[in-house]
Amino acid sequence: MQLELPLALAPVPTPMGTLRYIQLEREIVGYRLRRARRRSIGLVIGDDGLRVATPGHTPIAEVEAFIREKARWVLKKLSERRAAPKPPVVNWGDGTMIALLGTPVRIELMPGRCDISLEHGRLGIGLAPRAEPAALRKRGIAWFKDRARALFGERLALYAAGLGVPTPALALSNARTQWGVCRNDGHVRLNWRLIHLPLHLVDYVVAHELAHLREMNHSARFWAVVGDLYPDYQAARRELRDCTHRLPIL
Ligand SMILES: [Zn+2]
């Protein structure tokens, strides 16, 4: 029997789509419904839970019947997400360890100085005397982003040469789960958080986004281009997937 949902769970419009609720087995599951130009209903489990994209005018009853059909899968994925280890939140201070290209770097405060320097695995951060922890965090993040911009630029140039295309314009992104995007106009955005990961994973993402300059899809032809640029891409994809939930939150 289909239970009536409590009135408090009426649909709520949000910028990411309408937040609605559905009962699946014994759980009430919230989902965001977005109407888009597409041919079929798509379900995705993201950090924010279940997202549903439907073709323009699909009646809500049809959408919900579809979700119920996939209830098993949805509930399994949601519980996997809940059980997944939470990313470590960095507590900025003297002695904090943060990964740079897969190797931990130790943060050292240098009160009264204004430079930042990396030496022998120590990142010395100059700060005004009695600076707030927020100021340390701000300087630290800016430093990691600068590193990311410089390194990704070099790797893009290297792999672009391998592909025989001009080096595309680079921008950094800040997404939680997306590593890179290649836009139709040839701009590449890379997630600056990749700077925490080993170089070979950065290179894989760079090769992946560049390959989109040839193929704006994930077809077999696309993967062949990736394979030419980065032969061991399958292992890198797996490794990257495992890293997603372990990236520190700075
Ligand atoms: Zn892609």
Number of Cβ within a 10 Å radius of residue 56: 8
Distance from C-alpha of 208 to C-alpha of 227, rounded to nearest angstrom:
9
User: In a 10 Å sphere around its CB, with 0-12 CB exposed, 13-18 middle and 19+ buried, how is residue 242 labelled?
Assistant: exposed
**CA 208 to ligand 1 center in whole angstroms:** 6
Q: Is the pLDDT of residue 16 over 80?
A: no
* Total-model pTM: 0.71
Q: Is the pLDDT of residue 1 over 50?
A: no
Q: 97-246 — its CATH code?
A: 3.30.2010.10
**CA 7 to ligand 1 center in whole angstroms:** 41
Whole-number Cα distances in Å, 91 to 19, 114, 132, 137, 152: 33, 21, 13, 9, 26
**CA 161 to ligand 1 center in whole angstroms:** 19
Average pLDDT over residues 59-81: 94
Domain edges within the chain: 7-83, 97-246
**CA 185 to ligand 1 center in whole angstroms:** 15
Query: For the segment 119-139, what is each residue's pLDDT rounded down to a tens digit?
Result: 999 999 999 888 888 899 999
Query: For the segment 142-165, what is each residue's pLDDT rounded down to a tens digit?
Result: 999 999 999 999 999 999 999 999
Query: For the segment 175-211, what is each residue's pLDDT rounded down to a tens digit?
Result: 777 899 998 888 999 999 999 999 999 999 999 999 9
Full strand arrangement of the beta sheet holding 27-36: 12-14, 17-24, 27-36, 49-55, 42-46
**CA 167 to ligand 1 center in whole angstroms:** 18
> Residues near 163 by Cβ (< 8 Å), separated by ≥ 6?
210, 211, 213, 214, 225, 228, 229
**CA 216 to ligand 1 center in whole angstroms:** 8
**CA 154 to ligand 1 center in whole angstroms:** 20
Q: Residue 14: its pLDDT value, please?
A: 79
